[in-house]
Amino acid sequence: MTVAPVTLAALIAATLIIALLPLVLFRYLRKPLALDRRDTIVGVAVFTLFAMIVERAFHGLVLSQTPAGGWLTQPL
C-alpha cells in the first residue's frame, strides 16, 4: 500500500507546525507576559511526566484489572 506524496507533505507540514508553534509562541509572548525560561522548562517537564509516564501506567493498571479491560483492549 502506498501513500500519496501530497498526504505525506501535509503530514510533514502539520507536524512541523505543531512542533514549532509552542516555541514561536514562547518567543513572541515572553516579554509581554514576563515568562521565565526556567518556569517554562519545568512546566514542559511536568506535562511530559504526567502525559507520557503516569497516564500510560494508569491506563495499563485500569485496563488490566477490570472485566471490561479485555474487551477494551481487543474489541473485535
pLDDT tens, residue by residue, 29-59: 999 999 899 998 999 899 988 888 888 888 8
Rg (CA), the chain: 19
Q: How far is the C-alpha of 14 from the C-alpha of 16, rounded, in Å?
A: 5
Indicate the domain borders of the chain: 1-35, 36-76
All three cell numbers of 39, joined, read 518556569
Mean of pLDDT over the chain: 86
Residue closest to 63 by CA, chosen among 55, 53, 73: 73
Asked whether the whole model's pTM tops 0.85, one would answer no
